[in-house]
Each structure stands twice: as C-alpha cells, then as structure tokens.
Structure 1
C-alpha cells in the first residue's frame, strides 16, 4: 500500500447499497463522536462560519450537502445557539439510508433533513446564506466533483465551505489506532482508512477544483475548500 497517490479505485463498504444495515446504522450513530475528534469543525465554525452568520444581522439559512446521518448539523446548531445566532439548518443527502439515520436523531426545530441532492435543490429554487459539507469530496468522481462544486456555489449567497480529511501517513496511522475503541460493530475502521487513501492533499484538491476556490489546511490532517457563493 502507498499513500503517494489517491486510491481512486477503492470503494467504502457503506457506499454499497447491499451492506449490512445494522452495522451501517451503528456507523452513522458513531460518526458524531468520530467527527468531533477528527473533523476540525470547531475551528472552521469559529473562524469561517460564525463571523459570516453574525455579520448578516438577520436569521440565516445554512445547507449541509451530503449530510449523512446529520451529526455535523447537530453540532453546528449547538455552537450557533450557544453564540446567540438564529440559524435554520438544512441537511440534504440523496441516500435514503442516510436520510433515515438523520431523521432518527433527536429533533430540533431549527434543523430539517431532506432526501435530495444539489441539482434538485437548485431546481426547487432553494438558496442559502452558506453551504457546507464534510467528508464528501473524496467520494466523488472528477465529473461529480465538478458538478457538486458548481452547484454549491450556485446555491449560496455567501460562503461555501467543503471540509475533508487530508491523505498522509501520519493521519492514516493515528486514525487506524485511535478509532479502534469506537469501531466494533461498525464500518468505521475499514471505511475510515479507505477514505484517507481516497482523499486529497491541498495541492491536489486546489488543482481539481480550479480558480474559483481557495484550498488550505485549517487543522492538522484537514483540507478546506472555500468558495464565494454566486446565487
């Protein structure tokens, strides 16, 4: 195995429609704990998202594209509520299994989950003050990445923030050992390592997305693509 290049031929177990539904549900439930440890969204929220929302001076609408089991929106909602920000959150994922997992989360009047993708949201006339995603980019083919990036800019009037893990030996080794206590009964160990092998480095993601995007490293082992919405 080498981490020199992206392992684009790998697929994650949970992306298989025929994967074990019990293990899949357990994986979605534990994503919240894993993402609190590795996603860096506390830093991204404080430095990038909260200033935008606060500067609006009015209630905000934020979209999480590819929201999976909904753990990111639950976390962002708690942070924004603590800061006195009025935000309505929408989580969109076309996978019915992810949508069902999100709906099983404790309800918040500020969060809604829809089974949809970016194309359908655009066609429905939806627009948002900010669009975010977490751990989506490495799943996408070059064609799907281009469409996802384009649509997210067209859905946003403000910032677009796409966060993902960055491929590297240290990230791979630390994750392999660190996730073990949370992994039993889930796909977290195998799929997490496959995700790292499929993920981009900063320069690779910048080249893949093009000039409309700025890509940097907001936290160790993380990449963040930032774009200016054009809705």
Structure 2
C-alpha cells in the first residue's frame, strides 16, 4: 500500500487533455508514446500470453483497441500477428479528434483501421470483436465512465477484455520522476505521467471499483491488468 500516494487523486487533469495545449508538445507526446509503452506497458508479453493462444491462423480474428492515443500499440499488435501468420483485423478508436488527426500521417497496415468514435457508438452499430483492449485508459475515467466502458467492452467482445494500466506506487512514482525527465523532452510525458500515477489505482481499489466477473492482476513493473473472460 502506498504511503506518500496513499489516496487516489481524481481531481487533477493531464496537460494534454487541455484543448488549448501546445500543439508541438502534444505531437511530441504522441510520438514518444511508442517509447514509453515499449519500456513499461508489457504488450509484447500480453500478446504472447493472453492473446496469441486464442487467435487462430485460419480465422478472421478481430481486436478492438479503445483509446489509441498515438496509435503505436495497435500497429505493434498488427506486426506481431503478421509475423505469426495470424489473420488479424484491428480497429482502434479514440474520441479525441487530435489523436485521430495525428494517426492520419502514419504508415498503417491495411488490416488496421483508426476511427474517431466511442465504444458506445461501435456497440450501437452492432460491431463485434474477439478481444477488446485498452492501454492507460482506466485512470482517466470517472466511476460512471468506468462502469459504462467496461459494460461496452464486455458486450463488444466474444472472447475477452484486457485493460492494461498503471499501478499506483510510491517507488514507481519516484523512479518515473527521476528517469523520465532526461529522456522525454519537449512533451507532456513526464508531467502527465506523474499525474497519471497519482490518478491510478491500487489493486484493491480497482477490485472494489469494477463489477463482479472482472479479474485484477499485478504486472511488472508497477502495472495492473484488468481482464474479463467469456465462458
């Protein structure tokens, strides 16, 4: 249990959420997401252990990413699946028009689509996916938004849901503050990352916040995985 960060801060907002934030710093933040995610988010391991065993080479596998941010994670997933000979179609959604504009300039595989919409809009359209994923989304959501998003994800998925996020920790906060500053310059990564840690859950807090049937696991380093499996 954290001591310095003993309680979750739900009132602070990240600088990049400001619609009037500096455009160059925002673009740099999107660009640097791929580095920070490669270092700490563990999606390669999650793909290998949680997704790959349930994807079949001859099937039309479908995955949804909610809140794609800089677009790096669905692009990575597409590459890993292609190397494994998996027929995978990825849909990535984000409600932020700035994120959608950013990914328009990226080299995107044919079987990956970026959409500027919400999970509820996809649900209303009747779309279905084998898995629904998100990265660093949970700590942004209010309690009402959390329950709504989890309900959407469960109903949109046929096999399961993986929501990967930060675990609030004094040590994680101190290490990130020390190591990120010299690496991530001219962006919101360090300041917003510290805000994100203050907003993030401990395992027990997340367990109390989610409906029955969802599983919370700790991952290295300073990570939480919230998952749901369809029987």
**Deviation for aligned residue 1:43:** 1.4
The worse-fitting range, judged by mean Cα deviation, of 78-87 and 31-40 is: 78-87
Alignment correspondent of 2:204:
203
Alignment of 1:16-27 (within 5 A): 16-27=18-29
RMSD of aligned Cα (Å): 1.5
Alignment correspondent of 1:166:
167
SS in 1 for 2:158: coil
What are the ranges of 5 or more consecutive residues in structure 1 without an aligned counterpart? none
Structure 2: how far apart are the matches of 1:44 and 1:163? 9
Alignment of 1:38-117 (within 5 A): 38-54=40-56, 57-117=58-118
Runs of 4+ in 1 over 3 A off after TM superposition: none
Matched residues, number: 229
**Deviation for aligned residue 1:139:** 0.2
What whole-Å deviation, never above 9, does each CA across 1:45-65 have from its counterpart, x for those lacking one? Answer: 1110111113x7412010000
SS in 2 for 1:146: helix
**Deviation for aligned residue 1:150:** 0.4
What whole-Å deviation, never above 9, does each CA across 1:99-119 have from its counterpart, x for those lacking one? Answer: 111222212112110001011
Q: Is the 8 A contact 1:161 1:226 kept in 2?
A: yes
Q: Is the 8 A contact 1:93 1:116 kept in 2?
A: yes
Structure 1: how far apart are the matches of 2:222 and 2:183? 20
What whole-Å deviation, never above 9, does each CA across 1:161-211 have from its counterpart, x for those lacking one? Answer: 000010001111121122223321100010000000100111111110121
- TM-score, structure 2 normalization: 0.95
Alignment correspondent of 1:36:
38
What are the ranges of 5 or more consecutive residues in structure 2 without an aligned counterpart? none
Alignment correspondent of 2:6:
4
Alignment correspondent of 1:150:
151
